[in-house]
Amino acid sequence: MSHHLLGSRRWTLRTLALLVSASLLSIVPFTGTASAHGSTINPASRNYGCWQRWGNDFQNPSMQQQDPMCWQAWQSDTTAMWNWNGLYRENVAGNHQGAIPNGQLCSAGLTSAGRYRSMDTPGAWKTTTLSRTFNINLWDQASHGANYIRVYISRQGYNATTTPLSWSNLELVRETGRYAPGNTYMINNISAGSRTGRHVVYTIWQASHMDQSFYFCSDVVF
- State mean pLDDT over 105-113: 97
Domain membership flag for residue 31 = no
Domain membership flag for residue 28 = no
pLDDT at 142: 86
Mean pLDDT over each residue of the chain, to the nearest integer: 87
Q: Kindly tell me if the per-residue pLDDT of 33 is higher than 70.
A: no
Q: Kindly tell me if the per-residue pLDDT of 6 is higher than 80.
A: no
Bigger pLDDT: 149 vs 36: 149
Q: What letter represents residue 6's amino acid?
A: L
Q: Kindly tell me if the per-residue pLDDT of 43 is higher than 70.
A: yes
Residue 210 binned pLDDT confidence (cut-offs 50, 70, 90): confident
CB 122 within 8 A of CB 163: yes
The reported pTM is 0.84
Residue 49 CA to residue 204 CA, distance in Å, equals 17
Q: Kindly tell me if the per-residue pLDDT of 74 is higher than 60.
A: yes
Domain membership flag for residue 12 = no
Q: Which are the contacts of 135, defined by CB distance < 8 A and separation ≥ 6?
A: 42, 186, 187, 188, 189, 190
Domain membership flag for residue 191 = yes
pLDDT at 103: 98
Q: Kindly tell me if the per-residue pLDDT of 34 is higher than 90.
A: no
- Domain holding 45, by residue range, is 38-221
Residue 193 CA to residue 154 CA, distance in Å, equals 11
- 124-141: pLDDT as tens digits: 999 999 999 999 999 998
Q: Which are the contacts of 6, defined by CB distance < 8 A and separation ≥ 6?
A: none
Domain membership flag for residue 203 = yes
pLDDT at 37: 85
Domain membership flag for residue 44 = yes
| Helix or strand (DSSP H, E) at 184 | strand 184-191
CB 51 within 8 A of CB 81: yes
pLDDT at 36: 53
Domain membership flag for residue 145 = yes
pLDDT at 87: 95
CATH of the domain at 57: 2.70.50.50
Bigger pLDDT: 7 vs 130: 130
Question: How many domains is the chain built from?
Answer: 1
Q: Kindly tell me if the per-residue pLDDT of 40 is higher than 50.
A: yes
Q: Which are the contacts of 31, defined by CB distance < 8 A and separation ≥ 6?
A: none
Residue 31 binned pLDDT confidence (cut-offs 50, 70, 90): very low
Bigger pLDDT: 5 vs 136: 136
